[in-house]
Chain A
Amino acid sequence: MDTSERAIEHLYRERYVGFRNALATVTGSYDTARDAVQEGFARALAPRRQFRGDAPIGAWVWRIALRAALETRGQAELPLDETVDPQLVEPERNPALATALATLSPRRRLVVFLHYYADFSYADIAAACDVSEGTVAATLAQARAALAAALQTEGATR
């Protein structure tokens, strides 16, 4: 087992649940997300695909898994911005949060889910979403403010 494979295995064992939960916001269900995560990590292990170390490994595998998920919907060739519209998987468990999240743009929602579900760092998110870390920081700050306001408003009206 080479260094790259060990790193991928370590990533999987440490972060599988977070990957699946974050990807479920894109696929709409935990089951389809599980299959896409499995496929993504399997593709990452494939001999023809070598991790070159020019991006965080978590972001690299995330993009592979996301592509695998989009393939099942026939959308793999479209730009991510046009295809990824992440949503809370079980909105009925927290309608106020679901409503608050709906006020964010899809890109902001993805940043939020990657940060809080997949435990991605700013650098991970920047590489995964192909934006700068500054953009990630600003997006998260804006998302937090918007969500806090929405949730506090919701709380005040309960």
Chain B
Amino acid sequence: MTDLLARELTATANPLDDSDWLAIRRRARRPRRRLGLLAAAAALALFVVAPGFGLIDLIEGSPAPPAITTYFATENAHRQEFLAHAPAATDAMRIRFSPTIVGGARGVAAIDTADGPIYLWAAPTEDGGQCWLIQAGADPSTGRPYGSGACDDGDSDTPIVSDTGWTLERPSVEIVHARVHDDAIARVEVEVEGAEPLVLPVSSGHALGTLSKDARVVAYVGRDADGNVVAREAVGG
């Protein structure tokens, strides 16, 4: 009887280990009321920039949990296998596909949406670049993260490299991501047709947010800490 109940309940448990002890140490040193402040911040964000944008956790700098480091390690293996079978790969490709330093994987940003949270994790590469993962869910049985990732060599002539995407796990929002290559840019304003711009802070060279699925992005504007325009990348023609 006991085994039956234990078996049935164990099968429903979420095995994902997203623990982060260092984040707790940091949080313990902060003033209380954090949860209340977060709730208020989320409510304000929902009011200002519908359909949903709220910073849900200050994960910047937090070591990535095992499921994420496993993801980066697996991607490393795939890239090295690819390069091993691609003798014509250029030096640029080899730098871009340089192995990720898995132990350096850190949280960069986390936002809340009506469908659930979206996390951005990043890890440095051995050649000075960066790989990242925009996580929009996880396999409930294995903890393997769902999402999309990419790598770059950490250098670009384009100050803001942007992309938008949509996932099955967070179906009601369009994910907006900007890779920022100019250290002077402190925030990215996403100009949207017929609406107020979406203002995203830059963290570790990334800006992350969401828009409603029918929003049309016109441009990405990078501003410095004083509000001066540093770069502007128009979308489309």
Interface residues of A (CB under 8 A from B): 9, 12-13, 16-17, 20-21, 24, 29-31, 34-36, 38-39, 41-43, 45-46, 68, 71-72, 88-90, 93-94, 97, 112-113, 116-117, 143-145, 147-148, 151
Contacts and interface: CB of A to CB of B under 8 A. Distances in A.
Nearest to A38: B24
Contacts of A116: 5-6, 9-10
A31 B140 CA distance: 13
Interface in B99-142: 116-117, 140
Contact of A94 (B11, B17, B30, B39): B11
Q: Is the interface of A mostly helix, strand, loop or mixed?
A: helix
Interface of B: 1-2, 4-6, 8-21, 23-25, 27-28, 30, 32, 34-36, 38-39, 56-57, 116-117, 140
Nearest to B26: A42
A90 B120 CA distance: 25
A72 B39 contact: yes
B5 A46 contact: no
A144 B36 contact: no
Contact of B1 (A97, A117, A145): A145
A147 B5 contact: yes
Nearest to B15: A17
B59 to A, nearest CB: 10
Contacts of B1: 144-145, 148
Identify the interface centre among A38, A45, A90, A151: most chain B CB within 10 Å of its CB. A38
B contact face: mostly helix, strand, loop, or mixed: helix
Contact of A16 (B4, B12, B19, B36): B19
Contacts of A72: 35-36, 39
A13 B24 CA distance: 12
Most chain A C-beta atoms within 10 Å of own C-beta, residue among B11, B23, B25, B116 = B25
Given A9-B21, A45-B24, A151-B8, A36 B35 contact: yes
Nearest to A41: B24
Nearest to A46: B28
A148 B9 contact: no
11 contacts: A17-B17, A17-B19, A31-B116, A35-B38, A38-B20, A38-B27, A41-B28, A42-B28, A46-B28, A113-B9, A147-B4
Contacts of B36: 71-72
B14 A21 contact: yes
Contacts of A144: 1-2, 5
A43 B14 CA distance: 24
Contacts of A34: 18
A121 to B, nearest CB: 15
A41 B11 CA distance: 26
B14 A89 contact: yes
Contacts of A39: 27, 34-35
Given A30-B16, A72-B35, A94-B12, A12 B57 contact: no
A21 B13 contact: yes
A83 B139 CA distance: 31
